[in-house]
Chain A
């Protein structure tokens, strides 16, 4: 791969080959290793921790060139979900299979990421847990950090 800010590696998850991206995407990121992939690509983005405007530009322009490829995004973290909501072309022709939604305890402020599948976030309204008990303090309720319409705004794109 690429540079020491972003690691791209293949893993097998539940029998499915996925390409995992870990780290930050910026002006130095080289996506060319993804060109070697033939057939549908399952990109696991759970390890992406940050992205800046030049990284977004590189991402958008790279996938624009790969318009014919079938690409799936899985386990998108909040930083990626935010870009998908702000910039429709960020998703391009890829299919978003699952995203992580950030929950926070109203008592101890423990944070937890909850995986939401496409059939759940595509529903109107999104079929997500409104609240659940905090497993850490057991005194508070975990609730989505931010509004669901705002967080899942990428659905409209």
Chain B
């Protein structure tokens, strides 16, 4: 049993990229299939790496920054609920009294909630069930849950939808559009694409840690850590998506 567990741990480490990267460098790894990435001056010794390895082995451990897991959730049943929920979170947050924290938290929350409402629930042909340009009234079983907690170092926001449709490929396509350079010029943001790609890119840029857990066609739990603006270290971040 121990031998197979050790072998599994070794095997899982190859699925996880550690080192010190920029977000743009990290996006290249993600675009080429990396679902677990940690950038830290501590490299593979960063404590979050051990949590990712445990999760890859099936142990339900949590990252130390996921302090909102036990928070009472806000419930969204309509798209018009978004602003109210975001304002409730911002008004309850001490860190958000500072405009830089407030602005970043607002932007991340808006993108995550909008994606949860408009891009999680699909028609049978795979198209989005709700049109982003119209108000959406979710079914009772489609309720989006939002949890928030903070400490002196930053803010944890967790958005859970009941669609379970987010994939690593969504991040790859988003980063392909938003990071790729063509002939030395940035490519534009094409109108034919929905907004979900740019939203994922912005969340990746503004967050220090991202942990996504997808139960396919059932649930997506999108958890992010937004550090206090005065503690933001652009080189320390992690990205982990677990698709079941």
Count chain A residues whose beta carbon lies closer than 8 angstroms to a beta carbon of B: 25
Q: B128 an interface residue at 8 Å Cβ cutoff?
A: no
- Contact present for B132 and A52 (CB under 8 Å): no
**Which residues of chain A are near B195, meaning CB under 8 Å?**
27, 52-54, 57
Could you tell me how many residues of chain B have their Cβ less than 8 Å away from some Cβ of chain A?
Answer: 30
Q: Give the contacting residue for B189; candidates A52, A60, A109, A150; CB below 8 A.
A: A60
Is the pair B100, A50 in contact by a Cβ cutoff of 8 Å?
no
Provide the residues of chain B in CB contact with A145, threshold 8 Å: 98-100, 229-230
From A79, which residue of chain B is reached at the shortest CB distance? B103
**What residues on B are CB-neighbors of A102 within 8 Å?**
99-100
B202 and A86 within 8 A (CB)? yes
Structural contact, B99 and A78, CB atoms closer than 8 A: yes
Select from chain A the residue with minimum beta-carbon distance to B194.
A54
Given the interface contacts A89-B188, A145-B98, does A50 sit within 8 Å of B106 by beta carbon?
A: yes
Chain B residues with CB under 8 A of A141: none
B158-215, CB < 8 A from A: 178, 186-189, 191, 195, 198-199, 201-202, 205-206
B179 to chain A, nearest CB (A): 10
Residues of chain B in range 132-157 having any CB-CB distance to chain A below 8 Å: 132-133
Alpha-carbon distance between A146 and B198 when the two chains are bound, in angstroms: 24
The 8 closest A-B pairs by CB, nearest first: A53-B198, A53-B199, A54-B195, A89-B186, A88-B186, A57-B189, A53-B195, A145-B100
Q: A52-B110, A111-B98, A147-B232 are in contact. List 8 more A-B contacts (CB 8 A).
A: A27-B133, A52-B107, A52-B195, A53-B114, A79-B103, A86-B202, A102-B100, A145-B229
- 15 CB < 8 A contacts A-B: A50-B106, A52-B110, A52-B111, A52-B195, A53-B195, A56-B198, A61-B189, A61-B191, A86-B202, A88-B186, A89-B189, A102-B99, A104-B230, A146-B232, A150-B232
